[in-house]
Amino acid sequence: MGSSKVVNAGLISKGKKFGIVVSRFNEFISSKLLEGAIDTLVKHGTTESDISAVWVPGSFEVPMIAKKMVNSGKYNAVICLGAIIRGETPHFDFVASEAAKGIAQVAMNGDVPCIFGIITTDNLEQALDRAGTKSGNKGRDAAQTAIEMCNLYAEV
């Protein structure tokens, strides 16, 4: 319709500041997600010195630091990265559900977007696929989502 206002945020991140929280558990995978996220932010215009990444022990701890980063007022968006891989016990389900719930809670209570870039997979192969091989790099996707969302927060 001619007079309707349609908001569609761009993907330019120049001048924006990003906090990244990354889980050390399954570090081989999460370090690839981190590399992908940083590379994507830089490719879209962010200066490397405007990116701060914090390593935490596991995905369960990600929301705790994400909350502090969101509340610090220093960042235009916070990106959460990690890899939760199913094992023999129900541990996976608890960690995955608390990480997702915690990040959603931080996102809804904060004034800047907090992005869920934690992969949850049934096995290592599926995780590798999502960390820069067959299925792309979910760290890149999370970074692109963060850029779009912080540009949207500036518009809406």
Catalytic residue numbers, as ranges: 91
Identify the residue among 66, 84, 114, 143 touching ligand INI (CB under 6 A).
84
Segment 15 to 44, residues that bind ligand INI, using CB under 6 A = 23, 25-26
153 binds ligand INI (CB under 6 A): no
DSSP 130-150: TEEETTEEHHHHHHHHHHHHH
59 binds ligand INI (CB under 6 A): yes
121 binds ligand INI (CB under 6 A): no
The Cα 31–Cα 143 span in angstroms is 14
Nearest to 136 by CA among 124, 145, 127: 127
Residue with tokens 């081989």: 28
User: How distant, in Å, are the alpha carbons of 8, 43, 56, 63, 88 from that of 23?
Assistant: 31, 23, 5, 10, 20
Identify the residue among 71, 92, 126, 128 touching ligand INI (CB under 6 A).
92
Applying CB under 6 A, which part among 68-76, 85-93, 100-108, 134-142 lies near ligand INI? 85-93
Give the interface with ligand INI as residue ranges (CB under 6 A). 23, 25-26, 57-61, 82-85, 87, 91-92, 95
